[in-house]
Amino acid sequence: MIKMINITKVFPNGVMALKDVSIRIRKGEFVFIVGPSGAGKSTIIKLISREILPTKGYLIVGGKDINLLKRKEIPYYRRKIGVVFQDFRLLPNKTVYENVSFAMEVVGASSKQINKQVPEVLDMVGLRHKAASVPSELSGGEQQRVSLARAIVNNPEMVIADEPTGNLDPETSMDIFSLLNEINRRGTTIIVVTHADSIVNQMKKRVISLDKGRVVGDQEKGVYNL
Ligand code: ADP
């Protein structure tokens, strides 16, 4: 599904964030990306979400070179991807329900689809009873579950998450990873950048390790090994 081929990324300030990185991720995989701060993890996430372009190399997603997308094609490309952030990025003045339904409205879903899908995903993340709450009334773990619901409500092909549990305690983090695992079991490709070493070791998924812009490890059922 994703082929990164000899990708190098040099930022305008001269920092080489990725050096000749080649990674293949198949449809339906669950992949952890780990590495020390500054290793290039977020840069990979931003390349896949087409926020930035590589300096060299190809990035093929679903058979298409996404570096060649025209500006007006980018929003359609992004519909394939649900994104989850460390800081949740919920709309503070909207309810839980509205935070999720808004993601469907912006892609032009019908109210019939919205009325069906939103309660379903809120059920899945265990927050149907909080549908009328606003984010400030929720715990961090609950807010992240809303952001997961929002990420999957349009049935994306993949979910990418950059440090999704960076602000959460270990127990709450495990809940979020269990949900990501459940989403993966339903067929969605998952790519997660994380520092949650004990959870990575428990989950026995593919682990890609980066250091100083290079891939230094890539193991099926890998461990967090830095
Ligand atoms: P990680 O996510 O592994 O901590 P990043 O991908 O964020 O690492 O960053 C890799 C390197 O690129 C770091 O040295 C960082 O300072 C640099 N970098 C990231 N984004 C930018 C940017 N927009 N401009 C300049 N340098 C950047």
Query: Residue 226: pLDDT above 70?
Result: no
Query: Residue 2: pLDDT above 80?
Result: yes
Determine contact, residues 3/176, Cβ cutoff 8 Å.
no
Buried/exposed 136-146: b ≥16 CB within 10 Å, e otherwise: eebebbbbbbb
Pick the residue whose CA is nearest to atom 14 on ligand 1.
38
Q: What's the pTM?
A: 0.95
Pick the residue whose CA is nearest to atom 25 on ligand 1.
11
From the CA of 17, how far away is ligand 1's center (Å)? 6
Tell me the per-residue pLDDT of 20-62, one tens digit each, with 9 for 90 and over. Answer: 999 999 999 999 999 999 999 999 999 999 999 999 999 999 9
Mean pLDDT of 69-97: 96
From the CA of 210, how far away is ligand 1's center (Å)? 13
Query: Residue 99: pLDDT above 70?
Result: yes
Which two tokens mark 53? Answer: 């372009």
Which two tokens mark 79? Answer: 């519909």
- Tell me the percentage of the chain whose pLDDT exceeds 70: 100
Mean pLDDT for all residues in the chain? 96
Q: Rounded to whole angstroms, what are the CA distances from 151 to 89, 96, 154, 180?
A: 11, 13, 7, 11
Of 13, 43, 210, best ligand 1 pocket probe by most atoms within 8 Å of the beta carbon: 43
| pLDDT value at residue 200 | 95
Q: Would you say the CB of residue 39 lies under 6 angstroms from ligand 1?
A: yes
| pLDDT value at residue 58 | 97
From the CA of 38, how far away is ligand 1's center (Å)? 6
Query: Residue 95: pLDDT above 70?
Result: yes
Give the range among 53-57, 141-145, 190-194, 195-199 with minimum mean pLDDT.
Answer: 195-199
| pLDDT value at residue 225 | 78
Q: Would you say the CB of residue 55 lies under 6 angstroms from ligand 1?
A: no
Pick the residue whose CA is nearest to atom 5 on ligand 1.
40
Mean pLDDT of 197-202: 94
| Alpha-carbon span 99 to 38, nearest angstrom | 32
AA identity, residue 73: E
- Tell me the percentage of the chain whose pLDDT exceeds 90: 98
